[in-house]
Amino acid sequence: MTGPAQPSSAPLPLSLVAEGPLTGTTGVPGDKSISHRSLMLGALAVGETVIDGLLEGEDVLATAAAMRAMGADITRRDSRWHVHGVGVGGLLQPQVALDMGNSGTSTRLLMGLVASHPITATFIGDASLSRRPMGRVIDPLALMGARFAASPGGRLPLTMTGLCPAVPLTYTLPVASAQVKSAVLLAGLNTPGETTVIEPVATRDHSERMLAGFGAVLRIEGTAQGRAITLTGEAELRPQAITVPGDPSSAAFPMVAALVVPGSAVTITNVGINPTRAGLIGVLQAMGADIAVVNERSVGGEPVADLVVRHSPLTSIEVPPDVVPSMVDEFPVLFVAAAFANGRTVMRGLDELRVKESDRIAVMARGLAACDVTVEELPDGLIVSGSGGEAVGGGATIATELDHRIAMSFAVLGLHARQPVTIDDARPIATSFPGFVAMLQGLGAR
């Protein structure tokens, strides 16, 4: 096995309470999306890429292990990560199955890399990942010439063989997915000619920013069909020094915690505010949240700021579906914020949430109802009737279904509940936010 060790210990129940306001200053770990990409592109550059602030979560460690299995030299020294790449076209045949753990991003982006290299790789993952659809990347990569033997429904475990040279492609995304976009672009790196992805709806653009930073030739145009990204293949990537900003998807948890626990005032430093990721801030502000975005700056080609968040009465809104791609991972914790708002918060257009690490609409609806929050589940969303700022009932044990963001969302809900909220198993939190519990304890939770 080349991936992270599967947790063999028993489930780790967790329950957090706040007996007073949350106060203080905290950082959050490095951005998960940017961390994956920095390892992958570093592994395809010739020379040494140095990464500062890499997220050392299990998902990213799975990517590191897989890139090592395909020939890259990746080490951690003096709190930095050093990557010696093999060059575009130089990935080696892995000798063992690539264990992707819980990580959809690792799986889909690495499938893109393998697709245009003359190698065969087998991808395996945990129970959650083995339920998630891979057809969305298999389809375009098969058009480029890769061959697949997947489990029923296009799922893991799957074995694929890349084609070299692969066939360049122009592909319009059928779902708004940065993972699918990135898989095709990464396949395009070792493909002759131009590979184009057209996205009708803009999704996170970290791949484009980082590919350009590594010296790939990339063209972005607005077209009638949407945003068209064209990559010139057989690229030569130059190694980089990368500083990974704090993850806005992780910052979402202390942000909502500070908003809902009475009297709180929390500063979260060094948070990525790339517009393709920062939708939650605007939605919470529209609900009345007191969030100041200060000290804006640029770190490694990404916009970053500090966030000053104060406890606020929240008012329900109807969340416009067009913001969904810019906060797709933040809906579980937005549902929690909505549980404390005054009135009914309506959130629709969330079909993609049903195929994340869990069915996040169903799992959140069940857990919120168990905590005495009134919810109405829709095929593509959720309506949450909030408490108007009062503590919610709580008193339930939540089945988190191997989903880190479900676990952290209910930990935040429990901070302002009449009865404790227990997470059945806190171990999955380490996939994206090692140190989550210590971070909340540092702000005053117990």
Strand 290-299 relative to strand 302-310, pairing:
antiparallel
State the minimum distance, in angstroms, from the CB of residue 176 to ligand S3P.
Answer: 7
Give the residue ranges of DSSP H helices in 313-446: 331-338, 360-370, 404-413, 436-442
C-alpha to C-alpha distance for 376 and 365, rounded to whole angstroms: 8
Closest CA to 247 of 55, 38, 39: 55
With CB under 6 A as the contact rule, the residue among 58, 302, 329, 330 that binds ligand S3P is 329
Which of these ranges, 48-56, 141-149, 175-183, 370-378, lies near ligand S3P under the rule CB under 6 A? 175-183
Taking the CA atoms of residue 270, residue 275, residue 278 and residue 284 in that order, the dihedral angle to the nearest 10 degrees is 120
Which lies closer to ligand S3P via its Cβ, residue 2 or residue 102? 102
Contact between 85 and 237 under an 8 Å Cβ cutoff? The reply is yes
Kindly state whether residue 177 participates in binding ligand S3P, applying the rule CB under 6 A. Answer: yes
Q: Is 52 a catalytic residue?
A: no
C-alpha to C-alpha distance for 90 and 376, rounded to whole angstroms: 51
Beta bridge partners of 274: none
Kindly state whether residue 15 participates in binding ligand S3P, applying the rule CB under 6 A. Answer: no
Within 78-137, the residues that bind ligand S3P by CB under 6 A are 105
Peptide bond into 165 cis (omega under 30): yes
Please check if 32 is assigned to a binding site: yes
Question: For residue 342, which amino acid is it?
Answer: N
Which lies closer to ligand S3P via its Cβ, residue 208 or residue 352? 352
Binding map of ligand S3P across residues 126-165, x = CB under 6 A, - = no contact: ----------------------------------------
Token pair 């690539």 is at which residue? Answer: 98
DSSP secondary structure letters along 21-72: --EEEEE-PBPHHHHHHHHHHHHHSSSEEEEES---SHHHHHHHHHHHHTT-
State the minimum distance, in angstroms, from the CB of residue 66 to ligand S3P.
Answer: 15
3-state SS assignment for residue 200: coil
Within 282-321, the residues that bind ligand S3P by CB under 6 A are none
With CB under 6 A as the contact rule, the residue among 63, 179, 326, 431 that binds ligand S3P is 179
Query: What is the token pair recorded at 432?
Result: 């994206």
Give the single-character DSSP code of 246.
Answer: B
- Residue of closest CB approach to ligand S3P: 33
With CB under 6 A as the contact rule, the residue among 116, 182, 312, 385 that binds ligand S3P is 182
Within 201-230, the residues that bind ligand S3P by CB under 6 A are 203-204
Please check if 179 is assigned to a binding site: yes
Sequence ranges of the binding site: 32-33, 37, 104, 132, 177, 179, 329, 356, 360, 405
Q: List residues with catalytic annotation.
A: 329
Q: Which residues are annotated as a binding site for 3-phosphoshikimate?
A: 32-33, 37, 177, 179, 329, 356
Q: Which residues bind ligand S3P (CB under 6 A)?
A: 33, 105, 177-179, 182, 203-204, 328-329, 352
